[in-house]
Structure 1
Amino acid sequence: MRFGDAWNSLRRAQKGKRGVSLYSRWVNRPLGRVFAAAAAAAGIGPNAVTAVSALATVAGLVVIAAVPVTIASGVGAAALLVVGFALDAADGQVARLTGASSRAGEWLDHVVDAGKMVGVHAAVLIGFTGSGRSGGPWLLLPLGYALVAVVLFVGLTLYSLLAPPSGPTPPPSTLRAVLLLPADYGILAVAFVLWGVPDLFIGVYAALLLATTGITALLARKWFRSLAGGSPASA
């Protein structure tokens, strides 16, 4: 399969935009589409793309946790995390394009995602300690963020499995896509460009945590009421 053919096929076979933040809609999915087309043209399967995504993410986390805090290390970590996230979007696109979807591949993708949700905040915790911020309040931020991220990830994953059949899908809301931005992993990944300016990064990190906590609470309430009442709710 040629790159151009794969690209055109993927453009016509994208997931719906409902419940997706603007970052994932305008940045992550298009970038993932480039990687997916390249992988398909090179004969690389979806599980291999998932593995490369995990490697890119781990490399970014190592930079955060083990490399001295500088502007360059922050930009490098952000780039690796952004690429890892885009490759995470690419593996599913490769699977759909090549007909190589499998339960094992979906399981692997979710396991890598779960590790990423915890690993990024563990890296921040280690990075804080290494840069001299080992006092109480600094430790609570990544610990709290990890908890919220896991609850959001598990809640969304289980709701997708347990939700009743849905009717016609409403059109996507731009306002909703904007409001979901703080909970998008891609926004957190981009925020690491500020890692080399610790005070500014901590302020942004804390703001994202606060916003994500609110979004998680609202979504959890909506999902619970949907499952309790047997009516579908958009994620």
Structure 2
Amino acid sequence: MTAGMTTSTPTSTGPTAKPGFTETVRRLASAQKPPAKGSPAYSRFINRKIGRVLAAGAYQLNLTPNQVTLISACLSAAGIALIPLVAPSALTAVLIPFLLLLGYAFDSADGQLARLRGGGSPAGEWLDHVVDSIKVSALHLAVLIGWYKFYDLPDAALLIPIGFALVQAVFFFVQILTDQLRRAHPSQAPPAADGSLTATIRSIMVWPTDYGVLCIVFALIAWQTGFVVAYTVMGAGTLLFLVAALPKWFREVSRFGR
């Protein structure tokens, strides 16, 4: 070696340690995507928090967002399958809403996990929407079959789940399309929901459109009258909201790009 020269040994810090479960939950809370304006109360205040915990657990288990989406699909499918296949009872009144709500929570978890891992992908978003589109239609078709098999109802009553399926399919499509157009024109899109009292009241007022509330309604499935009435009220409320919202959304998107 030449006098006066020194050598240094390269140092390595090694791979960054994965944060623990509690720290992961904290990170998810601080990086939470703002809810859309008018987001229903259960979805906004309860389901997102449950999904946050599930996303943190999935992160610890090295699951991918697509795997979480598939877990959500399996849980929802199991809950939906019970409706036409098993006669209503106290057991199904517990299992069906539990499986539907857990599937809904995992549906929230996949997006949160994607953000935690650095952002989602178009393929992941596509898979999530495909699963949701199947779920919202299959649920009401399952009710239609369940009512026909297990309930003593006039034939005209079967039009209720058919109508609800149609309304829900249109509602889901319009929501997704409007959201995509808002993303394409962020400067003209309405602000996200905030923590104000007005925003909270708005979230509560749109309860008929809340999928979480609809899942809870299935706790009445062993009580024919109660379930039929509650389910019908949910369907009628969703229809009224859709009829009122369509002109508003059309006026909103009409301004995009001007």
Normalising by structure 1, we get a TM-score of 0.93
Percent of residue pairs identical: 38
* Partner residue in 2 for 1:10: 28
Task: Determine the structure 1 residue equivalent to 2:13.
Answer: none
2:42 to 23, 30, 34: 23
Q: Tell me the equivalent position of 2:201.
A: 175
TM score, norm. by length of structure 2: 0.85
Partner Cα separation in structure 2 for residue 62 and residue 138 of structure 1 = 21
Contact 1:45 1:100 in 2 (8 A): no
Name which of 53, 56, 73 aligns with 2:75. Answer: 56
AA matched with 1:19: G
Cross-structure match for 2:8: none
Match runs of 1:89-100 below 5 Å: 89-99=108-118
Contact 2:39 2:193 in 1 (8 A): no
- Give CA deviations for 1:104-123 in whole Å, capped at 9, x if unaligned: 10000000000011011011
* Structure 2 residue runs without a partner (length 5+): 1-17
Correspondence for 1:157 among 159, 172, 176: 176
Aligned residue pairs total 232
Shift of 1:22: 1.2
- Larger deviation, residues 9-18 vs 201-210: 9-18
CA deviation digits over 1:181-224, x for unaligned, max 9? Answer: 11011110111000011110000001011111111112211111
Match of 1:186 among 199, 208, 212: 212
Change (3 A) 1:49 1:170: closer
Give 1:166 deviation, angstroms.
Answer: 3.3
How far apart are residue 35 of structure 1 and its match? 0.6
**Higher Rg of the two aligned structures:** 2
Q: Which residue of 2 aligns with 1:107?
A: 126
CA RMSD of aligned residues (A): 1.7
Once the two structures are superposed, residues 113-156 of structure 1 have per-residue CA deviations (whole angstroms, 9 ceiling, x without a partner) of 00011011011011101114464222111100001101111001
Provide the residue aligned with 1:141 in structure 2.
160
235, 238, 242: which one pairs with 1:209? 235
Paired position in structure 1 for 2:187: 166
Q: Partner of 1:72 in structure 2?
A: 91
